[in-house]
């Protein structure tokens, strides 16, 4: 029995859950919400990219499609003459081979003169066609140098100037391909 006059320690009540204590179940934190938002943004970005919406036209693509079509016709005629001449390249002697390269280079010079007259009407098109034709001119100089080298050494290699860390013939080819002018790529009769 308990002594009625004795002081007893109060019994401790069981701990009460505090308002800030996590409750069982789902709880959305700021980090979780941020993660969901970021993942949703990434998914939407890829949907946008694969939809083709950000697609841009290459800055070298000519707006004057008629000029590009006319250029393709001009280049095709020159390419046909060069291909006919180079068909017998394997049977030619050193001097004949060099002369054949020079004749084909003459065809390319005439082709470039035709491409320059007239240039596209739009200033933006002229700003990209002009450097392309200048690159082609430099490639022609490289062809002349190669023809002279073949006269001295039948095993000479065709070397081109570099631009943008690429051989110049590749730069010229890329422009022609972008503008759907496959015959305007550099002639394949050297090398």
| Residue 142 near residue 168 (C-beta atoms within 8 A) | yes
Q: Could you give the count of Cα atoms lying within 13 Å of 108 in the half-sphere of its Cβ?
A: 30
- pLDDT of 9 above 60: no
pLDDT band for position 62 (cuts 50, 70, 90): very high
Which three-class secondary structure string do you get for 150-178?
A: HHHCCCCCCCCCEECCEEHHHHHHHHHHH
CA separation for the pair 98, 105 (Å, rounded): 10
What are 82-116's pLDDT values in tens digits?
A: 998 887 766 778 889 899 999 999 999 999 999 99
DSSP-assigned letter for residue 118: S
- pLDDT of 72 above 60: yes
Contacts of 29 by beta carbon, 8 Å cutoff, 6+ apart:
none
CA separation for the pair 27, 56 (Å, rounded): 44
Domain-wise residue ranges, the chain: 65-184
- Higher pLDDT: 115 or 12? It is 115
pLDDT band for position 58 (cuts 50, 70, 90): confident
């Amino acid at each position: 029995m308990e002594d009625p006059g004795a002081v007893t320690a109060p019994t401790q009540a069981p701990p009460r859950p505090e308002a800030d204590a996590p409750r069982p179940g789902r709880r959305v934190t700021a980090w979780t919400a941020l993660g969901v938002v970021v993942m949703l943004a990434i998914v939407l970005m890829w949907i946008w990219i694969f939809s083709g919406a950000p697609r841009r036209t290459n800055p070298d693509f000519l707006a004057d499609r008629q000029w590009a079509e006319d250029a393709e016709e001009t280049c095709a005629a020159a390419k046909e003459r060069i291909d006919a001449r180079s068909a017998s390249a394997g049977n030619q002697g050193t001097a004949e081979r060099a002369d054949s390269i020079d004749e084909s280079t003459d065809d390319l010079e005439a082709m470039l003169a035709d491409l320059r007259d007239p240039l596209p009407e739009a200033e933006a098109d002229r700003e990209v066609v002009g450097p392309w034709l200048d690159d082609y001119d430099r490639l022609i100089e490289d062809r002349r140098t190669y023809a002279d080298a073949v006269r001295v050494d039948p095993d000479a290699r065709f070397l081109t100037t570099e631009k943008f860390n690429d051989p110049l013939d590749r730069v010229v080819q890329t422009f022609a391909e972008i503008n759907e002018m496959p015959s305007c790529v550099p002639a394949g009769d050297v090398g």
